[in-house]
Structure 1
């Protein structure tokens, strides 16, 4: 989590001034009286479609707002809570999109249990995402959908759009945020790669996830926390030195809630991710074996926007950028490096002036027939600074 820039200014002393003391006292009192300083109220939403491990929600427009333009569908990653898109007020992508007047939707999967252990990735690629996209388009009056996927949600979205079994989907564009295509470029996996090879013959990992029915929730939560182990170690010091910074404290509270709500992986889906993604690194070659077929990423025929986080340890820039050459069927591919780690690039404080700005410009550029598409940085409906955008076209 980034530190406020004021602390790096010359002359910032160790002895707090009166303003900092008052701010710290206010934050401590608020935390004692109300349990925290973050505004964790979820944005209001309505269920519009559901199925097996599929719930599609429409976020309601503001009381004085009017929805306009093509709808945006946020794709939740498997095993992560949908809180990633609605982290807290002020750092919520959902809140931003609704405030902008965009029809905003989300697909999530509910709690995964042992009974779901036989569900593979094809359930999400063949059924959940295509059904959600069609439901959103229908609910929005038949308009094409801007699909946005973070982390594994972006990978599932790519596979769904590339899969010929999905048929023709009403999609305007695809945005993938922090989705690693080449896991050999992920430093966090380097220490355990020999272990993956070591267990190849005896099937230790396979037997373990089959016995457990997947990757249980505590293990998923621990794995996510492991990616930020340095921040975990220094967290008490950071909280003590930022007790006067309400924004900092609120973000820590929101991220803690997100991490505590991790969800389990179904057994078969976890096995496919382990063998074909983490171990086989198939996406690095531009394809993925699923069920009885091979899905080629070159089959994606809609505009694609790809984000890499400058300090992302789970999906480093090189791991994410590796997908770009395989998107040869897309009419336009744009790659952006934005500030932040894996979650921060999506919903950190810096995302408000980087990732969200680029997303707005992208949606405006590839909007439907309601308004002519405007060049990036010159949207007639929304004014943004184009200096945050650094497009690297194909």
Structure 2
């Protein structure tokens, strides 16, 4: 490329930077998320079960995704063409999502028992009834994976054919997020008038893990502000990373006691409704997906699950990606989703 061509290109890009910068500053370039068509099919308190529309279901059992309880689930359906959910639908699955919603004063006394022994088993039954299936495949993302692991361990006879977890923390010693949000403080002092840990405390904990992220993000944005696709992706991702929800007070207490102070999943001392549960009770085909660049759930926090579950058939997929990069972007589209689809298809019946 000649000097004249390079100058012309840079002039054009500067014009695009100015245009996109003005649109962002004026708030007229917002990005819609969660656009994949779905239907609300069941509720339990603030928890909602969604079924995504798919006219090309080629495999059963249906897939139930259990999301985390401290952030919003639209990261799995960020934008058309960059949607984890969309890829799974194209893979031929009947996809459901269990979204915990936003905890309020009615949830302050909800602990692990509510999520693990109450809502998930009921959601599994609902999925089976609606899809006329005898089993489900289950996938847990982040702390939603902890819920699915405890469900599988406490309910080994649950109709679950396969179990997948993504960025799922089981060993909390290497995790800074727990210490940032809950550790080293009297949990009662963190609770708001509703009896829950407020969303801004959760957000501050995540932000403290990458204190320079805003600066580096703005530098990258300025460089690529001419690129419309990059700007849209930046806005969607940046919006999600600051969009957290309150954490139920009783669940926060149990997290501190069982996971932060006693590391009970690793030590085999986790107690659920009076029963000691062991992940060795999980025997179904198992897949663990983790990111080597994940600063929220480091690989050291996620990888011990392979030794803890009792499945004979178990696989670990370790990727050079961050917490969000496992479900959004090129790594997700090229590696994460195809691996999960292949795993599920091999364990499914073709219709």
Taking structure 2 as the reference length, the TM-score comes to: 0.89
Residue 82 (structure 1) aligns with: 73
1:67 to 57, 63, 66: 57
* CA distance 1:208–1:38, change in 2 (3 Å): closer
* CA distance 1:361–1:287, change in 2 (3 Å): farther
SS in 1 for 2:29: coil
Unpaired runs of 5+ in structure 1?
1-12, 372-394
Which stretch shifts more, 16-25 or 124-133?
A: 16-25
Q: How does 1:242-257 map to 2 (within 5 A)?
A: 242-257=224-239
1:86 touches 1:93 (CA, 8 Å); kept in 2? yes
SS in 2 for 1:255: helix
Residue 47 (structure 1) aligns with: 40
Residue 275 (structure 1) aligns with: 257
Residue 157 (structure 2) aligns with: 168
2:103 touches 2:196 (CA, 8 Å); kept in 1? no
* CA distance 1:281–1:78, change in 2 (3 Å): same
Unpaired runs of 5+ in structure 2?
1-5
1:259 deviates by 3.0
SS in 1 for 2:270: strand
Distance 1:130 1:272 in 2: 20
Taking structure 1 as the reference length, the TM-score comes to: 0.80
2:34 touches 2:78 (CA, 8 Å); kept in 1? no
1:67 touches 1:101 (CA, 8 Å); kept in 2? yes
Residue 124 (structure 1) aligns with: 115
The count of aligned residue pairs is 345
Residue 339 (structure 2) aligns with: 358
Superimposed CA distance per residue, residues 125-162 of structure 1 (whole angstroms, 9 cap, x where no aligned partner): 00111111121122112152121111000010010111
Distance 2:180 2:114 in 1: 31
2:177 touches 2:206 (CA, 8 Å); kept in 1? no
1:123 deviates by 0.3
1:155 to 146, 150, 154: 146
Tell me which of the two structures has the higher relative contact order, counting C-alpha pairs closer than 8 angstroms and 6 or more residues apart. 2
2:340 is equivalent to residue 347 of structure 1 = no
1:75 touches 1:147 (CA, 8 Å); kept in 2? yes
* CA distance 1:25–1:143, change in 2 (3 Å): farther
2:65 touches 2:140 (CA, 8 Å); kept in 1? yes
1:74 touches 1:85 (CA, 8 Å); kept in 2? no
Which stretch shifts more, 16-25 or 84-93?
A: 16-25
1:310 touches 1:316 (CA, 8 Å); kept in 2? yes
Residue 51 (structure 2) aligns with: 58
1:88 deviates by 1.9
1:208 deviates by 3.8
1:345 deviates by 1.5
Q: How does 1:206-221 map to 2 (within 5 A)?
A: 206-209=188-191, 213-221=195-203
SS in 1 for 2:151: helix
Distance 1:93 1:180 in 2: 20
Distance 2:127 2:149 in 1: 18
2:187 touches 2:252 (CA, 8 Å); kept in 1? no
* CA distance 1:88–1:228, change in 2 (3 Å): farther
1:102 deviates by 1.6
1:298 deviates by 0.5
1:163 touches 1:295 (CA, 8 Å); kept in 2? yes
Residue 314 (structure 2) aligns with: 333
Say what the alpha-carbon RMSD is for the aligned residues: 2.7
